Structure 1
Amino acid sequence: MSFLMRRATYLLTCVLLLGATSANAQGMRPGQGMGRGMGQGAGGGQGAAWANLSAFVPGDAKLGKAVAEQTCAACHGVDGNSIAAVFPKLAGQKESYLVRQLTNFSTNARQNDLMNPIAHQLDPDSLRNVAAWYATQTIKPANDGDSKLIAAGRRVFEAGDISQHNPPCTHCHLANPPPGPGALAPLLAGQFSGYLQAQLLQLRSGQRSHALMMPMMAARLSDAQIEAVAAYISQLH
């Protein structure tokens, strides 16, 4: 494939990622017309995920602390800073994202032998409240990746990979991303590198298929790129 063709494909991917901006300007719901192939949320396609986000009802963080202490602390810590990479850090994560993932676990839309039965026990109010609690906490960066890989990981995160038509991760995974799919994307800064690697590998293999556009993006990442970008993200804060 010629350089110009690769460049055009790369730019088209970027346009698709940011296309919700023009959709908003035309009075369309973000994600409308993109189809199910862009990824699935708790209720189906990306359009359903946007609908769920627009109907999002915040929880009560004070009530959520008790849920965290009783149900979540053993793995994720009361403050959302777990001590083992097998359990993701939840501190400071978007409340709406946590609600969506807990809902996915409770309905088995996202499969995990440990989380599915736990999420089944949470009623909707408890689910929203514990998400609100963890969203108010402050993440302590894991910084557990190979320091030799940080420079390479930064290039992937900030510049993407034009040869594989992958846009920068910053299009979606910043605290304040541009309008578009980033509103649905999780915050990644400070997460365990091992956890990030595991999730990217699951997305690449298709084991996680409900995560909007990420299966397509992860499929274009090499093992080396996954390890490097995870190392870089783990030391961000």
Structure 2
Amino acid sequence: MHQFITLIFSFFVAAGAIANDLVSADTAAGQTLYQSKCLACHGVAGVSIIPANPILAGQHGEYLYKQVQYFRDGMSKNAIMSAMAQGLSDAEIANVAAYLSEQQPVIAGAADMELAQSAEKLYRGGVIADGIPSCASCHGPAGEGIEPVYPRLSGQHAEYTASSLRAYASGERENSIMQAIATKLSDEQITSLAAYISGLAP
């Protein structure tokens, strides 16, 4: 019990520190840094036109902050992102995260409406018999997410979402909650969920 309380306390202390960094962030400096290091892959103002790369516009600032830190500190593995994040200070990361969080969210849109609609029940209600929880319980019914832990999913490129879920299932991407869920999803469920999420609008 003591360890649990200590863990929760540490989480809120860390979350408070991140929030403080974002409050004092310089979004103009964040825009300049983003344009020099991130634009080529993630598009103007975080609107990626490359389906394999995530749309970052409107993503929660605290989530973005932690994800870039993970790449910088080796907790997440991606050759390109790890190289880009090397040398960035916490303040610089906060500046970029704050800038992106202020951009207008964009909806990629579902390319296959029939496929997308087939996953609505799975996204909203899960599959209790298979131990698959509702995606909406953490990410919201419209995919808006819950800051700082659960990211915005709405309108994300289907290709990126599907590849992320498969990376969680294989263990290539680490997150105990998402790994436990993704390993229970079939490839067909992953494909249809990704299609559904790409059409969600907050």
Q: Same fold (TM over 0.5)?
A: yes
Give 1:126 deviation, angstroms: 1.1
Q: Structure 1 residue 169 and structure 2 residue 149: aligned? A: no
Q: Indicate the residue corresponding to 2:122 in structure 1.
A: 156
Q: For 2:193 and 2:102, locate their aligned partners in 1 and report how far apart those are by CA, in whole Å.
A: 26
- Do the aligned partners of residues 34 and 111 (structure 1) sit closer, same or farther apart at CA in structure 2, a change above 3 Å counting? farther
| Partner secondary structure for residue 226 of structure 1 | helix
Q: Structure 1 residue 190 and structure 2 residue 155: aligned? A: yes
**Is the contact between residue 191 and residue 234 of structure 1 (CA under 8 Å) also seen in structure 2?**
yes
What TM-score comes out, normalization by structure 1 length? 0.75
**Is the contact between residue 62 and residue 148 of structure 2 (CA under 8 Å) also seen in structure 1?**
no
Q: Indicate the residue corresponding to 1:33 in structure 2.
A: 4
**Is the contact between residue 161 and residue 167 of structure 1 (CA under 8 Å) also seen in structure 2?**
yes
Q: Indicate the residue corresponding to 1:66 in structure 2.
A: 32
- Do the aligned partners of residues 144 and 48 (structure 1) sit closer, same or farther apart at CA in structure 2, a change above 3 Å counting? farther
Percent identity between the two aligned chains: 33
**Is the contact between residue 110 and residue 116 of structure 2 (CA under 8 Å) also seen in structure 1?**
no
Q: Indicate the residue corresponding to 2:16 in structure 1.
A: 54
Moved more, 50-59 or 162-171: 50-59
Give 1:120 deviation, angstroms: 0.5
Give 1:34 deviation, angstroms: 9.3
Q: Indicate the residue corresponding to 1:114 in structure 2.
A: 80
- Do the aligned partners of residues 145 and 220 (structure 1) sit closer, same or farther apart at CA in structure 2, a change above 3 Å counting? farther
User: Which of 25, 36, 45 in structure 2 is aligned with 1:79?
Assistant: 45
Q: For 2:185 and 2:11, locate their aligned partners in 1 and report how far apart those are by CA, in whole Å.
A: 25
Stretches of structure 2 lacking an aligned partner (at least 5 in a row): none
Larger helix proportion, structure 1 or 2?
2
- Do the aligned partners of residues 153 and 34 (structure 1) sit closer, same or farther apart at CA in structure 2, a change above 3 Å counting? farther
Give the letter aligned to residue 134 of structure 1: L
| Partner secondary structure for residue 221 of structure 1 | coil
Q: Indicate the residue corresponding to 1:229 in structure 2.
A: 193
- Do the aligned partners of residues 216 and 176 (structure 1) sit closer, same or farther apart at CA in structure 2, a change above 3 Å counting? closer
| Partner secondary structure for residue 38 of structure 2 | helix
Q: Indicate the residue corresponding to 1:38 in structure 2.
A: none
Moved more, 125-134 or 182-191: 182-191
- Do the aligned partners of residues 51 and 157 (structure 1) sit closer, same or farther apart at CA in structure 2, a change above 3 Å counting? farther
Give 1:148 deviation, angstroms: 1.6
Give the letter aligned to residue 169 of structure 2: R
Give 1:33 deviation, angstroms: 2.6
RMSD: 2.3
Q: Indicate the residue corresponding to 2:67 in structure 1.
A: 101
Q: Indicate the residue corresponding to 1:204 in structure 2.
A: 169
| Partner secondary structure for residue 105 of structure 2 | coil
- Do the aligned partners of residues 196 and 87 (structure 1) sit closer, same or farther apart at CA in structure 2, a change above 3 Å counting? same
**Is the contact between residue 145 and residue 153 of structure 2 (CA under 8 Å) also seen in structure 1?**
no
What TM-score comes out, normalization by structure 2 length? 0.87
Stretches of structure 1 lacking an aligned partner (at least 5 in a row): 1-27, 36-44
CA distances 1:128-165 after superposition (whole Å, capped 9, x unpaired)? 10000000111221114422211221111111111211
Q: For 1:158 and 1:221, locate their aligned partners in 2 and report how far apart those are by CA, in whole Å.
A: 15
